[in-house]
Amino acid sequence: MNNVQCVCNFREDDSFKSSDDFHNHKNFVLKSEIFTTIEVKTFFSANNIETWHKCNTCFKVWRLVKPDVPFRGDWSVVPEIEL
């Protein structure tokens, strides 16, 4: 197995410090050529405020969940079982 880290794994924190942090990250993901937005198969939470983004290099699928206080949102790899 190749241990080289993909460019899609660029964020150190999997939650967001503020609403601005979330929106800046979301805008980057949507405007970058790193990801393609795909259909959500399994929602993380009942609020359904989430999008999925597939890396165009390694093909991992990332979940972007909007913060909903006190929950700080989420940016994490979707487990294969949910795909």
pTM attached to this predicted model: 0.88
Q: What are 36-72's pLDDT values in tens digits?
A: 999 999 888 777 789 999 999 999 999 999 998 888 9
Annotate 20-31 with b (16+ C-beta within 10 A) or e (fewer).
eebeebbeebee
Taking a C-beta distance cutoff of 8 angstroms, is the pair 47, 60 a contact? Answer: no
